[in-house]
């Protein structure tokens, strides 16, 4: 089967600093992959390049056979994106918001898709609430439903369960797993919750210093790192980042 996403040797620099240095990533149909790393690892920049929001200085991104940036409109028609920080209109009801997006996605029966999406994630009771009446966690849930209304081939989630209580987060994981199993949806997720990643994802990709430093199943990466779990590996990378930053601060400046 053809890959859903192919990123090849991505580079990005900001004011003389290399944020991403040669990242390559291929995602296949139905994969659930986590893109991980401590702050400053290049994770956000990589994600923005994968979505076509930032153009790489070098390298290429293909989504569903479309090369970015020229083919971004065609590619994004098969992509869903959700993040807890994205706003929802305060003065519209949840059903109205989702139905509007259903029309924008060009769905033949937006109302039916909205009801199915709400039921899939167990939030049908929120359909008639105004956006202003939702908690942050409920807004996140509605955002995920919005992202999957059109049954995207690729679903990108930025910290999807950060504001959810454990029971609701479990419901989200189950809903996402069903999407992968039933629709073949590929999921790419960023998170700082390593327990969450181990429950949801079958593959993890760790970044550090703008490079991929680990790529495999959660168990494989934890075993290779010798830390016992993903949290230990994450903390190891964060400590190494801080050590290098301290060395850089203490290095003598030429001419002084």
pLDDT (average), residues 125-131 = 96
pLDDT (average), residues 177-201 = 88
Tell me whether residue 44 is in a domain. yes
Which stretches of the chain are assigned E, i.e. beta strand?
5-14, 17-27, 32-36, 58-63, 66-67, 79-83, 154-158, 186-190, 203-208, 211-216
Tell me whether residue 35 is in a domain. yes
Q: What pLDDT does 237 receive?
A: 86
**What residues contact 26, with CB distance under 8 A and at least 6 apart?**
3, 5, 6, 7
Judged against a pLDDT cut of 60, whether residue 55 lies above it is answered with: yes
Q: What pLDDT does 35 receive?
A: 96
Rg of the chain (C-alpha set): 19
Judged against a pLDDT cut of 90, whether residue 130 lies above it is answered with: yes
Per the structure, the count of domains in the chain is 1
Tell me whether residue 225 is in a domain. yes
Identify whether the C-beta of residue 113 lies closer than 8 Å to the C-beta of residue 149.
yes
Tell me whether residue 232 is in a domain. yes
Q: What pLDDT does 232 receive?
A: 86
Judged against a pLDDT cut of 70, whether residue 252 lies above it is answered with: no
Which of 86-100, 185-199, 231-245 shows the lowest mean pLDDT across its residues? 231-245
Q: What pLDDT does 248 receive?
A: 67
The model's pTM:
0.90
Whole domain around residue 243: which residue ranges? 5-250
Identify whether the C-beta of residue 58 lies closer than 8 Å to the C-beta of residue 247.
no
Band the pLDDT of 203: cuts 50, 70, 90: very high
Band the pLDDT of 255: cuts 50, 70, 90: low
Tell me whether residue 255 is in a domain. no
Tell me whether residue 59 is in a domain. yes
CA distance 71 to 77: 10
Nearest to 187 by CA among 216, 150, 148: 148
Band the pLDDT of 251: cuts 50, 70, 90: low
CA distance 145 to 136: 15
Q: Can you give the CATH number for the domain in which 123 is found? A: 3.40.50.300
Identify whether the C-beta of residue 12 lies closer than 8 Å to the C-beta of residue 45.
yes
pLDDT (average), residues 93-114 = 96
Judged against a pLDDT cut of 60, whether residue 109 lies above it is answered with: yes
Judged against a pLDDT cut of 60, whether residue 236 lies above it is answered with: yes
Tell me whether residue 256 is in a domain. no
CA distance 75 to 83: 19
At residue 89, φ and ψ (nearest 5 deg) are -60, 130
Mean pLDDT of the chain: 90
């Amino acid at each position: 089967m053809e890959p859903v996403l192919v990123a090849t040797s991505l580079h990005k620099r900001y004011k003389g600093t290399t944020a991403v240095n040669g990242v390559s990533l291929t995602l296949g149909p139905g994969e659930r992959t986590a893109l991980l790393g401590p702050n400053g690892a290049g994770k956000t920049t990589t994600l923005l390049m994968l979505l076509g929001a930032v153009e790489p200085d070098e390298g290429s991104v293909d989504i569903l056979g479309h090369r970015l940036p020229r083919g971004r409109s065609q590619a994004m028609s098969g992509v869903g994106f959700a993040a807890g920080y994205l706003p929802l209109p305060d003065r519209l009801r949840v059903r109205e918001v989702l139905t509007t997006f259903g029309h924008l996605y060009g769905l033949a029966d937006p109302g039916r898709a909205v009801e199915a999406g709400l039921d899939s994630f167990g939030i049908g009771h929120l359909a008639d609430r105004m956006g202003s009446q939702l908690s942050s966690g409920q807004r996140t849930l509605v955002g995920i439903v919005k992202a999957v209304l059109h049954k995207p081939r690729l679903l990108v989630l930025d910290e999807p369960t950060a504001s959810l209580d454990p029971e609701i987060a479990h419901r989200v994981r189950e809903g996402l797993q069903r999407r992968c199993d039933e629709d073949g949806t590929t999921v790419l997720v960023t998170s700082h919750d390593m327990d969450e990643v181990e429950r949801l994802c079958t593959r993890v990709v760790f970044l550090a210093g703008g490079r991929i430093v680990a790529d495999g199943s959660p168990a494989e990466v934890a075993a290779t790192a010798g830390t016992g779990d993903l949290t230990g590996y994450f903390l190891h990378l964060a400590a190494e980042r801080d050590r290098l930053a301290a060395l850089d601060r203490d290095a003598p400046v030429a001419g002084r």
